[in-house]
Amino acid sequence: MRHALLFSVFVIASCGLAYELIAGALSSYLLGDSVMQFSTVIGTYLFAMGVGSWLSKYITRDLIGRFIQIELMVGLLGGFSAVGLFLVFTWLSAPFKLVLYLVVFGVGVLVGLEIPLVMRILKRELAFKDLVSQVLTFDYLGALAVSILFPLILAPHLGMVRTGLLFGLLNVGVALWALHLFREQLPARRALLAQSWGVFGLLLAGFSGAGQLTSMAEAHVYADEIVHAESTPYQRIVVTRWRDDLRLFLNNNLQFSSHDEYRYHEALVHPGLSSLPGAKRVLVLGGGDGLAVREILKYPGVESVTLVDLDPGMTDLFSTAPALVALNEGALKSDRVSVVNADAVQWLEESRDYFDFIVIDFPDPSNFALGKLYTAAFYRLIEKRLSANGLLVVQSTSPLYARQSFWCVVTTLESVGFKTSPYHTQVPSFGEWGYILAGRRSFVPGALELPKTRYLTPQIIPGMFVFPADMGRVTAEVNQLNNQVLVRYFEAEWRKVIR
């Protein structure tokens, strides 16, 4: 019996941490700023556990029965937490944060009640020093197990909704196991058994219908028909369609619309690459959709393109889905293209190659994981891989809506010795959008010879480098790894736009 209860502690700890990770991951997906979301979720959860531990002293009778009921409650609340939060966000976005922290607090209180009750149940069989050491050992082992399984297996393969429901079922499993172990000591065993199987049935039904629940929730997040949705270890990928318009969303953020993406990608690639007639080797960081690569391949003089994108889910999707392959014109399948799925920082540290043109096409710096890719330290790595007369271009958010963020990227590039040439263009899906060309020499836009384009012409390129007064340069700090000031700028500026 002692070993069975200690194993239950392992399961309980796994479930508690899983609910905490789900809440943190889901809130960072939906609200952005992962550091803020995880910090506040973890803080609320630990505080609530303390409250639960304090409240446990008021449970004085029928400890086993109360323990079973707490397992059922935490299994029900924690198990349905992901789908509940998803539905609240889609239908009632205003109180989402309130509901999020109420759920986290409720789960934390219930989890905080569990361990003290188990220790009190076990105290008849173990000396105090053995009781504390063994219970806490299994508690920490359970937390370790789920912390490894969650990012590697559970989140990418089951998704948030099914993962939550799976751990809810495990909580009910602990309750049923306790009912079996203490069957002679439970006067209300039949009632507890009925409650346990009832909760088990609800969670099992939710697990089997998780796909429909997720689709129903996402159908309200996205205005158009969802034609592809998947969770990878790195992000949530959703592709929607309305008539002939395909749209890509990463973690709920629009990345492109097929109606006007050509404006974005032509502006990203051609001003710089067309000024380098001798360019042979090109590096693309990010851009796993292959759309920037499509534009680069229009230059017959380019002998090789290396695309480095963290997520194989992205590059696989845009290499195989017929509609998306048609959009990038099969760019990722070209003999001139090498696709590498790796972290850009690690890849740059290990690479010994030099490139004539480097395209940095990462998502906006909405969190610290992305913000590190806009730091002075990152740009120093880039400088080492740039050929003597090479150029790089960085997509740099909107100089109109996120003006200080844009000029922060300029300041950061200049801090490592680059000479910069900022420019901008209009992309209807995003509004006014900004880019920065940088190199060891100054870039002077002139009469450039372009390949076939839908939007860009040699005549309009010089005007792209002229900024009106409301987008002109403003003072901004250098974005360093230890301060990530760009993420704070970005969050503050885009929050005003969204409101």
- Pick the closest to residue 464 from 498, 494, 437, 438 (CA basis): 437
Instruction: Indicate whether 97 and 209 sit together in one domain.
Output: yes
Task: Report the distance separating Cα 269 and Cα 437, nearest Å.
Answer: 10
Task: Check residue 216 and give its pLDDT.
Answer: 66
> Containing domain of residue 244, as a range?
223-255
Task: Report the distance separating Cα 474 and Cα 404, nearest Å.
Answer: 6
Instruction: Indicate whether 319 and 441 sit together in one domain.
Output: yes
Confidence category of residue 32, pLDDT binned at 50, 70, 90 = low
Instruction: Indicate whether 66 and 196 sit together in one domain.
Output: yes
Task: Report the distance separating Cα 423 and Cα 454, nearest Å.
Answer: 19
Instruction: Answer with the residue of higher pLDDT: 151 or 109.
Output: 109
Q: Is a pLDDT exceeding 70 seen at residue 5? A: no
Task: Report the distance separating Cα 18 and Cα 148, nearest Å.
Answer: 11
Instruction: Indicate whether 236 and 142 sit together in one domain.
Output: no
Q: Annotated catalytic residue: which of 289, 309, 361, 364?
A: 361
- Min mean pLDDT across 91-105, 123-137, 138-152, 329-343 is at 123-137
Task: Quickly tell me which residue has 């079922």 as its tokens.
Answer: 169
Instruction: Indicate whether 96 and 200 sit together in one domain.
Output: yes
Give the count of domains, the chain: 3
Encode pLDDT of 372-400 as tens digits: 999 999 999 999 999 999 999 999 999 99
Catalytic, 130? Answer no
Where would I find the beta strands (DSSP E) of 400-487? 419-427, 431-439
Mean per-residue pLDDT for 262-275?
96
Mean per-residue pLDDT for 311-317?
95
Cα 1 to the center of its chain, rounded Å? 42
Report whether 265 contacts 291 (CB < 8 A): yes
CATH number, domain with residue 8: 1.20.1250
Instruction: Indicate whether 227 and 174 sit together in one domain.
Output: no
Cβ density class 318-347: b for 16+ within 10 Å, e for less: bbeeeebbebbbebbebeebebebeebbeb
Q: 232-241: long-range contacts (C-beta < 8 A, 24 or more apart)?
A: 232/156, 232/311, 232/312, 232/313, 232/314, 233/151, 233/152, 233/155, 233/156, 233/311, 234/310, 234/311, 234/313, 235/311, 235/313, 236/29, 237/311, 237/313, 237/314, 237/317, 239/317, 239/321, 239/324, 241/323
Report whether 216 contacts 83 (CB < 8 A): no
Instruction: Indicate whether 90 and 22 sit together in one domain.
Output: yes
Three-state DSSP at 186 gives coil
Report whether 489 contacts 408 (CB < 8 A): yes
Of the three residues 239, 255, 271, the one that is the final residue of a domain is 255
Mean per-residue pLDDT for 58-68?
88
Task: Report the distance separating Cα 308 and Cα 347, nearest Å.
Answer: 8
Q: In what order do the strands lie in the sheet with 355-361?
A: 337-340, 304-308, 281-286, 355-361, 386-395, 431-439, 419-427
Where would I find the beta strands (DSSP E) of 258-370? 281-286, 304-308, 337-340, 355-361
Span between the terminal Cα atoms of the chain, in Å: 57
Instruction: Indicate whether 167 and 134 sit together in one domain.
Output: yes
Q: Is a pLDDT exceeding 60 seen at residue 356? A: yes
Task: Report the distance separating Cα 174 and Cα 418, nearest Å.
Answer: 60
Cβ density class 267-285: b for 16+ within 10 Å, e for less: bbbbbbbbbbeebebbbbb
Q: Is a pLDDT exceeding 70 seen at residue 215? A: no
Mean per-residue pLDDT for 210-223?
67
Task: Report the distance separating Cα 447 and Cα 460, nearest Å.
Answer: 10
Structure tokens at 21: 């990770």
Structure tokens at 171: 């909580």
Three-state DSSP at 112 gives helix
Of the three residues 238, 255, 272, the one that is the final residue of a domain is 255
Task: Check residue 122 and give its pLDDT.
Answer: 73
Task: Report the distance separating Cα 453 and Cα 474, nearest Å.
Answer: 33
- Pick the closest to residue 344 from 367, 320, 369 (CA basis): 369
Instruction: Indicate whether 242 and 147 sit together in one domain.
Output: no
Of the three residues 231, 255, 279, the one that is the final residue of a domain is 255
Encode pLDDT of 401-440 as tens digits: 999 999 999 999 999 999 999 999 999 999 999 999 999 9
Instruction: Indicate whether 168 and 301 sit together in one domain.
Output: no
Instruction: Indicate whether 236 and 266 sit together in one domain.
Output: no
Taking residue 420's Cβ as centre, other Cβ atoms within 10 Å add up to 18
Structure tokens at 324: 């998306």
Instruction: Indicate whether 239 and 330 sit together in one domain.
Output: no
Task: Report the distance separating Cα 192 and Cα 194, nearest Å.
Answer: 5
